[in-house]
Structure 1
Amino acid sequence: MACIEYRDIELKFEERTIFTKFNLAINKNEKILLCAPSGRGKTSLVKMLMGFIIPDSGEIIVDGIPLSGKTVNQIRSKISYVSQDADIPKGIVSDVFRDVFKFQINRQLNYQEKILSDWLEKMLLPQETLNKNVDSLSGGERQRLALILGILLDREIWILDEITTGLDQELKKKIVELLLNDDKTILVVSHDDIYQNRGLREVSW
């Protein structure tokens, strides 16, 4: 059984057709690179998986569970979604991370600030980042923090939506190697050629 299935998905925005009878099956721990020109629905595809966009028809199934209003929270609990917008809560970085791991859904995770400190080092962020306000950080710094948060949440499915935007080549390579060697099911949305020849299955339309 596939980990993720899109079955006969149809989606329109106003009068523009985005998907017609779109089908895709993704196996557990498979790494997928979604390839399509701008405006063809790459981000819409992953937002449908999160339940943020509802297809006009068709079905999305995750681990055998059909996505619906009743199951959307259960399915979201399986997914870490990291976007180029680096949408993380406001506040002092150390407090933000601590608060996220106080949520009921995350309490079983073994979070310690030392773990966050180690990841700051891996992502080439100074330790004083812990004491800074999220609003004072650059876009690239927030992007890396959002990625660290996604990693520490340890969900079984990762959605990475243009996460290398604005990063230098050395850091891009480091992040890509780190992520693609992990035992996770990963969907990547990117125009960056850093993902080429990395063993991802390219899905285009």
Structure 2
Amino acid sequence: MIQFIGTTIRYEKEQPVREFNLEVSKGEKAVFTGPSGSGKSSLLNALMGFVPLACGEIRINNQLLSPATINKIRQEISYLPQELSLDLDTVGDLIYYPFEFKNNRHLKPDNHKINEVLKLLLLDESILSKKLSEVSGGQKQRLGLASVVLLNKPIIILDEPTSALDDDSAVAVAKLIGSFKKTTVISASHDLRWIELMDTQIKL
């Protein structure tokens, strides 16, 4: 369970989130919607511990998110930002990147599992041998999602996960994410194709 309780986020010149309250149950697929600047990404960043709260709190499985607990909490989360800016060479590097961290090494998938997820995302396994510079923005976005899915964490956080995708790819991604019944998903999106397939829509 994820709880936002009186959550307020304030930057130097703006306050995008004020006294926000929400409870997301285990396995629920929730999406933040609304215009740019409404606080969608700010809430995701706060959930990851990237921005401090001005007041209020966030709890994950009844554990208060704080500087003392954030590292432990992040071990339960797979996160995909809107823009991937990793200095990597090949598609394979991107897929395996999260598994280089100590806490994820034991989760490293085999080739069969990787190819299975790529197929569900409408990607051919031959893409693994390509340079990242050779793949499109939409392919790169789906590869990032593949990496997130392969981590198999109980919570997934996605910022605009379908922004570069065509209709077929966007639906494939949403259906794959929705198939993980026990996985809690919180996302931010402008994309109606994604929004309509989520359990809960929160307009900001």
TM-score (ref. length: structure 1): 0.90
The one-letter amino acid of 2:192's match is: D
Comparing 38-47 with 89-98, greater Cα deviation is found at 89-98
- Contact 2:33 / 2:203 at 8 angstroms: preserved in 1? yes
CA separation of 1:95/1:84 partners in 2, compared to 1, >3 Å: closer, same or farther? closer
| Identity fraction in percent | 33
- Contact 1:35 / 1:203 at 8 angstroms: preserved in 2? yes
Q: Where does residue 13 of structure 1 map in the other structure? A: 11
Q: Where does residue 128 of structure 1 map in the other structure? A: 126
Secondary structure at 2:38 match in 1:
coil
- Confirm or deny that 1:195 pairs with 2:194: yes
Secondary structure at 2:73 match in 1:
helix
Q: Where does residue 73 of structure 2 map in the other structure? A: 75
Q: Which deviations, in whole Å up to 9, do the C-alpha atoms of 1:3-31 show, x marking residues without a partner?
A: 11111112222232222221111111111
Could you tell me how far 1:199 is from its partner in structure 2?
A: 5.2
Q: Where does residue 61 of structure 2 map in the other structure? A: 63
The CA distance in 2 between the partners of 1:179 and 1:99, in whole Å, is: 20
Secondary structure at 1:13 match in 2:
coil
CA separation of 1:99/1:40 partners in 2, compared to 1, >3 Å: closer, same or farther? closer
- Confirm or deny that 1:180 pairs with 2:173: no
CA separation of 1:78/1:57 partners in 2, compared to 1, >3 Å: closer, same or farther? same
**1:24-103 correspondence runs (5 A):** 24-88=22-86, 90-98=88-96, 100-103=98-101
Comparing 134-143 with 23-32, greater Cα deviation is found at 134-143
Q: Where does residue 152 of structure 2 map in the other structure? A: 154
Secondary structure at 2:10 match in 1:
strand
CA separation of 1:98/1:23 partners in 2, compared to 1, >3 Å: closer, same or farther? closer
Q: Which deviations, in whole Å up to 9, do the C-alpha atoms of 1:51-94 show, x marking residues without a partner?
A: 01111111111111111111111111111112331345512222
- Confirm or deny that 1:164 pairs with 2:162: yes
Runs of 4+ in 1 over 4 A off after TM superposition: none
The CA distance in 2 between the partners of 1:10 and 1:199, in whole Å, is: 25
- Contact 1:88 / 1:146 at 8 angstroms: preserved in 2? no
The CA distance in 2 between the partners of 1:40 and 1:99, in whole Å, is: 32
The one-letter amino acid of 2:48's match is: M
The one-letter amino acid of 1:204's match is: K
Secondary structure at 2:113 match in 1:
helix
Q: Which deviations, in whole Å up to 9, do the C-alpha atoms of 1:142-183 show, x marking residues without a partner?
A: 101100000000111111211111211111111111211212
- Contact 1:101 / 1:109 at 8 angstroms: preserved in 2? yes
Could you tell me how far 1:117 is from its partner in structure 2?
A: 2.1
Could you tell me how far 1:138 is from its partner in structure 2?
A: 1.8
Could you tell me how far 1:123 is from its partner in structure 2?
A: 1.9
The CA distance in 2 between the partners of 1:199 and 1:166, in whole Å, is: 18
CA separation of 1:198/1:125 partners in 2, compared to 1, >3 Å: closer, same or farther? closer
Q: CA RMSD in A?
A: 1.9
CA separation of 1:35/1:96 partners in 2, compared to 1, >3 Å: closer, same or farther? closer
